[in-house]
A and B are shown apart, each in its own frame.
Chain A
Amino acid sequence: MSFALFVLAGAWLLGGLVVSRLATRESATRWGIGWSAVTTLATLVALLVAWQQGPLLAEFGGRAILAAEVESLLLASLTGVVTTVALAAGSRREITRNVAARLLAVAGTTFLVFFATDLVTFAAGWTAGIALLGSRDEATKLFVGRQLLTSALPLMVAVTWIGMVDGSLRLADLEHRTLPASTTTWIMALVALASAARIGIPPFHRPWIRLIDAGDSARAIAAVGPLTGAYAILRLGPALAKAFVTDQPWLEAWALTAALYLALVAYGQREQLRLTAYLVGSQVALVFLALCSSEEVAVHGGLTLWLALGPALSGCLLTAQAIRSRRGPVGLERHHGLVTQAPLLAGLALVFGMASVGLPLTLTFVAEDIIAQGLLVPHPWLAAGFVMVTALNAINMMRHYGRVYLGATPRVRCPDVSGRERVTLVALAVMILLAGLAPQLALTAEEDTAHHLHAAEATD
C-alpha cells in the first residue's frame, strides 16, 4: 500500500503536468475533470481501506514519508471533490489550460499537507499550494503575494523555530516532547496566524474576496474549499497543546468576532457574488471557532462542519459565479427574477445555500447542532454568538436568493445550467443531501480526531 499513497499524491501533480501540455482549452478541461474524478475515486477507495485496516504509510528507506489516516483521507477526498467540481462547473472564461493544470497541482500539494509526516513536507506543500495558484492577473497576484507573506512565512518561521529548538521535525515526535513554554506560545501564535490567513479569517480575508470578485472563483474555491488552513490547527494543535490551551480564549474570541463581522459585512454588500463570498467567509470562521474551542463535542462538530461546508460553499460560490458570468454584476437593490429563466440554477442555489447555512436535513445542520450543544453550557456567550451568526447567515442567504432569483421576469436573457455544469452541480446537490441523511458516517470518521485533539489539550 505504500506505493499507493505516493501514486495518490503524485497523480495530481502528474495530472497538472499532462494537462498543461494539451493543445486546447477544452481538451485540457476535459482531461482535468477526468483526471480529478478518477483520482478522487481512488482516494475514496484508499479511505475505505484505511477505515478497515488502519493508516496507510508510504515508506522510503524504511522511513515513513507520507501517512494517511481516515481523517486525512477524508479531507483529501473532500479536496478531490472540490477540485473536480471547480473544474467542471467553474466559469469557462476562468478555466483555461493553465488554470486547469494549476488547480490539479494545487490539489496535489494539498494532499501533501494532509499526508505529511514531517514539518518540512507540511510547510513545503502549504507554500507550494499557494505559489502554484499564481498567474498573471492582478487579483491572483495580490492573493498569492499576501498569502505567501501572511500564511506561508509565519508557518515557515514556526517550522524553523521548532527545528532549532527541538531538533526533530517529525510530527509524531513533536507530540511527545516538551518544548519551552515561552517558545510554544510564540510558535502557536505563528501557526494560528498562518492558519487564519490561509482560510481567510479577518483581517486576512480581503485578497480572497477580491479573487472571487475578479471572477476567479475556481481558484478561490481551490484555495479555501478544502480548508487546508484549519489543518494546521488540527495537526499542530496537539503538539503545541500547552500554548494552544492558553491561547484558546483569544482564538475563540477572534474566530467569533470574525464570523460576526463577515456576517454583518455581507449584509452591507450590494452585489450578489460579493455577498456570497462574505457569507462563505463567515461560515468558514465558524469552523475555526469550533476547532479552537476546548470542548470535545464542539471540536467534533467543527470537524463535521469542515466536511459539510466544503461542497456546500463550493456549490454556493459556483452558482453565484454562474450568475456573474451570465449577467455581469447583479446588484441587490432590486429583485432580478432569474428563476423564470434559470429555474434549475435557482433550485440548486437554494439547495447549496440551505446546505451552507445549516438548514434541516443537511450535514451542516447536524454539525451546527453539535457545536451549539458542545458550547452552550461551558461557554454560553460563545454559543449565543455562534447561533446568532448562523441565524444571520441563514437570513442573508434567503435575502440573496430572493433578490437574485425572485421578482419580475427580466428582459435580458439568462441561460439555465446545462451540459457539464448541470451534471456536476446536480450530482453535488445529491451528494450534499445524502450526506445530511446519513451524517453518522462523517461523525464516526471524525470521532478519533476530535478525541485526540481534546485529549492532548486536556493532558496539558
Chain B
Amino acid sequence: MPEQIDGLALAIAIFAPALATLTTATLMVAGRAREENVVAISRLAFLASFAATVAIATVVVRDGARELTTGVWFEAGHHAFHVRFLLDPLSAMMSVLTAGACSLIGHFSVTYLHGERGHARFYLLLDLFTVGMLLIVTAGSIDLLFVGWEIVGITSALLIGFFHERPTPVRNGLRAFATYRCCDVALLVGIIMLHHYAHETGMHVEPGRWAAGLPAVTGTGATVVGLALMLGAMGKSAQAPVGGWLPRAMEGPTPSSAIFYGALSIHAGVYLLIRAQPVFERSPVASGALIAVGAVTAITATLTGRVQSDVKTTLAYATMTQVGLMFIELGLHLPTVAALHLLGNAVLRCWQLLRAPAILHELHEVHGALEHELETGRLLDRIERKLPGRIGAWLYLRALDRFYFESLAERFLVRPFFALARALARLDEGVDTEQTAVAVPPQAATDGGDR
C-alpha cells in the first residue's frame, strides 16, 4: 500500500507541472494564453505537486526509503534506460523544497510579473523547470537524473534571456547554456563510464547511509567517474573556473534568479555529488580535486563578491562561495553536513534574492535608524582592516578582475575558437562569406514574406 501511495504521489508531483507546461504551451499556440488562465493552471499544478511531495515525505519518514521502477523508457542491445525513482530522506527533502519553492515563486510572480510581456512564457518555463528539478531529485538512476539535468539547463538559459529586448540578457543566457553543455559532456562521459565500470547506474540505499548513493567503483574507475561527475557538477553549480555565468545570470527576472540561482538549480551539482559519495570515498584524487575546486571558488568568489556594486551580483557570488564550501564538505566526505548546508543556503538565498529589489529601500531605513551601528563586528571587515595595504590592494584589483577566470577563457578559448571557425568558414567558401550570404533572389529580400 505505501508503494502505491508513493507511486501515485510521485506521479502527481511530476505530471501536474508537466501537464501545466503542456496546457500553457497549447494556450500560447492557440493565442489564448491570458494571464489569469496561465496563473490559475500553474497555481493548481504547484499546489498539487507540493501536496504530493509532502505526502511522499510523510511516507518516507514513516516507512523508510524505497525504490520505484516504473519500466524501461528505451533499450538497445545491452543498454537499457530504466525509469527508476528513489524516495529516501534526501530526495524527500529536496522534492518538498523544490515543489515548495516553485509554488512560492509562482505565487510571488503573479504580482511581480503582472502585465509583463512574457508572462505566459515565464510560467511555461517555470512549470518545465519544476518537472526537470523534480526528475533530478527523485531520479533513482543517474540516467534519469541527466534528463532532468538537461531540462533544467534549457529552462535556465531561456529564463536568463527573459528580457530579450536587451541583447545582454540574451548573450548571458547563451553563455550559461554553453557552459552547461560543455560541462554536460563530462557528465555524460561520467555516466557512460559508470555504466562501464559498475554495469549499472542505479542509486541504492545502503545500511548505515541515510542517502542512497551511486554504485561504488574502485581504482582508476572511481577517479575517472568522480572527476567527470565533478566537472558536470561544476558547470551547474557555477564553480571556478567555469562559474562566470552565474553573476551574469542575474539579468533574468528576480523570481527566476531566486529559484534557479538562489534555491534549486545552483544546488543541483551538490545534490549530484552527494549521490556520488560512494565513488568519491574510493578516490582520494577525485576528493582532493573537489576540495581544491571548492576552496578556489569559495576564496575567489567571496573576494569578488565584496567588490561588486549591485546587490544581485553580490548575492550570486555569495551563493558561489557557499556552494564552494559544500564542495569542500563533500570532498571531506561529509554529505550530511553538505545536505543541511544546501537546505539552509537554498532557503536563505531564495529569500534574499526575492527581497533584493526592495533591499536598498530597506537599507536606507535601517541606516537612518542605526547610523554607524551597522559598520562594526563583521569578521571579514575586521580581517580586511588587518591586512597589509599592498596585499589588500592586490586582492582588491584581482577581485575587480574576477581573478582573470573570464578574461583568460575569453583570450585562450573563446577568441581562438571563433577565429578558427571564421578561418574555416572562409576556407570552405573560398571567398568571404558575406558576399555569398547575399546570393539570394532579389525579390526574397522584400518585406512581408510569401506566407
Contact = CB atoms under 8 A, between A and B. Distances in A.
B178 A395 contact: yes
A329 B417 CA distance: 25
B373 interface: no
Q: Which of B29, B181, B422, B441 counts the most chain A CB atoms within 10 A? A: B181
A274 B29 contact: no
Interface stretch (B47-55, B186-194, B212-220, B327-335): B186-194
A325 interface: yes
Contact of B449 (A271, A322, A335, A383): A322
B161 interface: yes
Contact of A267 (B184, B418, B437): B418
B196 interface: yes
A406 B433 contact: no
B161 A402 contact: yes
Contact of B185 (A369, A391, A413): A391
A373 B79 contact: yes
A366 B76 CA distance: 10
A249 interface: no
Contacts of A415: 448-449, 451
Interface in A279-300: 296-297, 300
Contact of B77 (A265, A374, A421): A374
Given A264-B424, A377-B192, A325 B449 contact: yes
A206 B445 CA distance: 23
Given A264-B420, A388-B185, A440 B75 contact: yes
Interface in B28-83: 28-29, 72-79, 81
Contacts of B418: 267-268
Interface in B159-186: 161, 164-167, 170-171, 173-174, 177-178, 181-182, 184-185
A210 B188 CA distance: 35
A332 to B, nearest CB: 9
Contacts of A296: 77
B1 interface: no
B195 interface: yes
Interface in A374-403: 374, 376-377, 383-384, 387-388, 391, 394-395, 398-399, 402
B206 interface: no
A265 B445 contact: no
A11 to B, nearest CB: 27
B451 A370 contact: no
A394 B447 contact: no
Given A344-B29, A395-B181, A407-B165, A265 B421 contact: yes
Contacts of B161: 402, 406
A270 B192 contact: no
Binding site of B, secondary structure by majority: helix, strand, loop or mixed? helix
Interface stretch (B9-17, B147-155, B297-305): B147-155
Contact of B196 (A365, A376, A443, A450): A376
B426 interface: yes
Q: Which of A296, A387, A420 counts the most chain B CB atoms within 10 A? A: A387
B419 to A, nearest CB: 9
Contacts of A300: 76-77
Contacts of B81: 366, 369
B79 A297 contact: yes
Contact of B154 (A92, A267, A354, A402): A354
B164 A407 contact: yes
A324 B445 CA distance: 8
Interface in A414-460: 414-415, 417-421, 426, 439-440, 443, 447, 450
A347 interface: yes
B416 to A, nearest CB: 12
B181 A391 contact: yes
B114 to A, nearest CB: 19
Interface string A326-345: 11110100110101100110
A417 B170 contact: no
A388 B170 CA distance: 23
B444 A215 contact: yes
A412 interface: yes
A92 B79 CA distance: 45
A269 B426 CA distance: 9
B74 A440 contact: yes
B440 A339 contact: no
Contacts of B441: 93, 214-215
B18 to A, nearest CB: 10
B423 interface: yes
Nearest to B186: A387
A373 B195 contact: yes
Contact of A214 (B165, B166, B439): B439
B236 to A, nearest CB: 15
B426 A328 contact: no
Nearest to A348: B29
Contacts of B182: 391, 395
B185 to A, nearest CB: 5
8 contacts: A274-B437, A369-B188, A372-B188, A383-B189, A395-B182, A402-B170, A402-B171, A407-B170
Given A215-B441, A450-B77, 12 more contacts: A91-B450, A296-B77, A297-B77, A339-B164, A369-B143, A370-B79, A384-B189, A398-B178, A407-B165, A413-B448, A443-B74, A450-B76
Question: Nearest 10 pairs between A and B by C-beta?
Answer: A268-B425, A326-B449, A328-B445, A267-B421, A406-B164, A271-B437, A268-B421, A297-B77, A360-B150, A92-B450
